[in-house]
Structure 1
Amino acid sequence: MISHKGMRPQDVVVVLKLISLKSLLQSDKGAYIRQTAQTHLAVALGLSQSEISGSLQRSRIVRLVGEDKREVYQQNFLDFLFYGLRYVFPAEPGPLVVGMPTAHSAEPLRSLIVSQELYVWPDPQGSERGQAIEPLYNKVPYAARQDERLYELLALTDALRVGRAREIKLAQQKMKDYIYA
């Protein structure tokens, strides 16, 4: 039996990328399978192939993805995001930095929530100044710039990590909309 030493933050991002790819390519099963090859995931997320392989194996063990490591178990993943994420991978707003907007400061929540607080992932290529939110792993801004849908999913994930009750409720509903689309 393979031992499981716990989830890592990048595991969440890998599953979110699978969701992003599936929604973009759901009409062409063959392209979906080719696009979700570990090599593609590694390049798209700025991770090594061995990190992708380990991530998918951990997610399979905890039943976030299927045996094929491509099918996301949607309800299991939502349960993890809604009820475990903020305890396993917490985030607290930090100092003011230049970066890429996240949480309620990015779409899809930005147009729904009026707030004086601006949260950003520290990123020298960023366009806004706000309170730093440590991303799930250091390549998150890179990965978000490559895939707009992934960016929205990551921003919603950060809203679940740092949001207040209203932001969390809106993020949960939007996340359901994305995952069950």
Structure 2
Amino acid sequence: MKSQDIVVLLKLMSLEDDEKMRVQLPAGHSPPAGEDAYSVRGLEAALGISKTEISASINRSLSSGIAIKDRKTGRPKPNRRQLREFIVHGLKFVFPAKLGAMQRGLPTAFAAPVLRGSLHSAGSLISVWPYARGHEMGQSVEPLFKSVPEAAEKDERLYAYLALIDAVRLGNQREANLAANLLQERFG
């Protein structure tokens, strides 16, 4: 397994969640036509990960059982329960997060919009993914994949998932538990 596998799986979850929301919209509110977001090409455009690596990532996830093929569409989809278990109990050991130097970037973990204000800390430093177009200064955290900040800017739901994962990777037990509970709610 590679770190970008998690990013690809979370994007697939975000796409599934978008579809569920569209089903609840009134008639006439369909998305614009274009590239299939689930295609390797669509995922490449959304995530900034090459088509070859997207394909390899999906194959690794399917062979590990952390993703399955949808019976109706044949598209790969995350096994949400197993993915959550891996994120909560194994991700910080397989892909540990370390705080680095002060940099400009996109807020993550408890500085991200999904968690901002959830916990009060004594420190004033925030965690950011290094990103040239970012507007916040904070301690840098290497994202799961180099293109995460750009992908997060394009997809608010993906941004929330990735920030919650960073809170699990970076946080102490109380913070990690809060993020894990929020992941549980979002994973359904």
| Structure of larger gyration radius | 2
Percent identity of paired positions between Structure 1 and Structure 2: 39
1:101 alignment partner, one of 99, 107, 117? 107
* Deviation at residue 111 of structure 1 after TM alignment: 2.3
| Structure 1 unaligned regions, length at least 5 | 1-6
Deviations 1:8-33 (A, max 9, x none): 110000000011111111255xx8xx
> Which residue of structure 2 lines up, in the alignment, with residue 3 of structure 1?
none
Decide which structure has greater strand share: 2
1:1-181 maps to which residues of 2 (within 5 A)? 7-26=1-20, 27-28=22-23, 34-67=36-69, 68-115=74-121, 116-180=124-188
SS in 1 for 2:6: helix
Distance 1:93 1:168 in 2: 16
Count of residue pairs brought into register by the alignment:
171
2: CA distance, partners of 1:123 / 1:10: 18
TM-score by length of 1: 0.90
Contact 2:40 2:51 in 1 (8 A): yes
CA distance in 2, matches of 1:99, 1:53: 29
Do the aligned partners of 1:106 and 1:152 also contact (CA within 8 Å) in 2?
Answer: yes
Aligned residue number for residue 26 of structure 2? none
Contact 1:97/1:129 (<8 A) preserved: yes
**What is the deviation of 1:127?**
0.8
